[in-house]
């Protein structure tokens, strides 16, 4: 399975096949066994780490970019997070979640820390919505591209199952770095309501996407 992750496509080969996959019920390419890669990384396996990088770097960078809204800063955050994955790989525990969620939790916290510490709220608001498009030539793996597009479609479908208020609560907290108290204040709702919206939104999203566990 993971051998296919080695296949590096010619950059230009990326385009159309992925688009036609949208809405497919099953994932296009093989899902790499990230748990295995992470556990090998924990034993100092540099090759496994590189495969892991290939599998998660785009998500880590995209998440960071969405949160910090600055490409250079997103690169710094991604670097910190990805190096931290290497450094702390042995502390990953498969009982506590998947390798992907473990890595993305690290990346999320790094990004939120950065945005909270270095950017004023007004600065974030000013740059809100500015998002650089990526040059296609930089997207290196066809499998990754297909996986991402499939995932984006799936998540979009999942998000459409949420109420506008649930989406708003998730957006404020997960992507804008608000705490649940700040979100409650901003939305002028009781804290308990904010907590419930976040939880209910996650449950709907999880169920709509068929996340297991």
Partner 1 sequence: MSEHVHSLLGPYAVGALEPDERAQVERHIGACADCRDELSSYLEATAALADAEATAPPASLRDRVMAEVATTSQLPPGAPGTADAPVTDPIRVAEDYGRGTGEDTRDTAGTAGTAGTAGTAGTAGTAGTTGTTAPVGADTSAARDDLAARRAESRGPRRWLAALAGAVATVAVLAVGVFGFGLGRPSDDAAELALAKDVMMVEAASDATKMDMDLGNGQVVMSSRMDAVALMGNSAPMPDHGTEYQVWLIMADGSKVAGPTFMPDADGEYMAYVPNDLDGVVAIAITCEPPGGSAEPTTDVVSVVEL
CA distance 28 to 146: 6
Give yes or no for residue 26 binding partner 1 (CB under 8 A). Answer: no
Burial of residue 41 (CB within 10 Å: 0-12, 13-18, 19+) is: buried
Give yes or no for residue 121 binding partner 1 (CB under 8 A). Answer: yes
Which span sits near partner 1 by CB under 8 A: 1-9, 15-23, 24-32, 199-207?
199-207
Q: Work out how close the CB of 20 gets to partner 1 at its nearest, in angstroms, rounded to a whole number.
A: 19
Burial of residue 195 (CB within 10 Å: 0-12, 13-18, 19+) is: middle
Give yes or no for residue 105 binding partner 1 (CB under 8 A). Answer: yes
Give yes or no for residue 107 binding partner 1 (CB under 8 A). Answer: yes
Q: For partner 1, which residue of 21, 48, 69, 78 counts as binding (CB under 8 A)? A: 78
Binding residues with partner 1: total (CB under 8 A) = 100
Which span sits near partner 1 by CB under 8 A: 1-9, 17-25, 94-102?
94-102
CA nearest 173: which of 118, 112, 128? 112
Q: Work out how close the CB of 119 gets to partner 1 at its nearest, in angstroms, rounded to a whole number.
A: 7
Q: For partner 1, which residue of 27, 33, 36, 62 counts as binding (CB under 8 A)? A: 62
Instruction: Write out the two tokens for 119.
Output: 């950017």
Q: Which residue carries 């809405």 as its tokens?
A: 23
Q: For partner 1, which residue of 27, 76, 165, 168 counts as binding (CB under 8 A)? A: 76
CB atoms within 10 A of CB 78: 24
Q: Work out how close the CB of 91 gets to partner 1 at its nearest, in angstroms, rounded to a whole number.
A: 4
- Positions 160 through 179 that interact with partner 1 (CB under 8 A): 170, 173-175, 177-179
Q: For partner 1, which residue of 84, 161, 165, 168 counts as binding (CB under 8 A)? A: 84
Dihedral sign for Cα atoms in the order 65, 69, 72, 73: negative
* C-beta of residue 92 within 8 angstroms of C-beta of residue 125: no
Cα–Cα distances in Å, from 57 out to 142, 186, 196? 14, 32, 32
Which span sits near partner 1 by CB under 8 A: 2-10, 15-23, 24-32, 118-126?
118-126
């Amino acid at each position: 399975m993971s051998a296919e992750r080695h296949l590096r496509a010619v950059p230009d080969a990326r385009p159309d096949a992925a688009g036609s996959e949208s809405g497919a019920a099953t994932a296009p390419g093989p899902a790499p066994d990230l748990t295995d890669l992470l556990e090998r990384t924990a034993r100092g396996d540099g090759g496994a780490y590189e495969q892991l990088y290939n599998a998660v770097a785009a998500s880590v960078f995209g998440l960071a970019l969405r949160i910090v809204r600055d490409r250079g800063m997103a690169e710094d955050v991604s670097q910190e997070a990805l190096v931290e994955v290497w450094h702390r790989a042995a502390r990953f525990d498969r009982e506590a979640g998947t390798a992907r969620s473990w890595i993305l939790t690290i990346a999320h916290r790094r990004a939120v820390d950065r945005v909270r510490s270095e950017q004023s709220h007004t600065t974030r608001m000013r740059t809100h919505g500015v998002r650089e498009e990526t040059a296609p030539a930089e997207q290196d793996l066809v499998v990754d591209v297909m996986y991402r597009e499939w995932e984006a479609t799936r998540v979009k479908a999942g998000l459409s199952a949420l109420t506008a208020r649930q989406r708003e609560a998730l957006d404020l907290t997960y992507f804008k770095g608000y705490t649940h108290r700040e979100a409650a204040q901003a939305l002028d709702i009781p804290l308990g309501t904010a907590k419930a919206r976040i939880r209910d939104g996650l449950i709907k999203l999880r169920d709509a996407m068929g996340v297991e566990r």
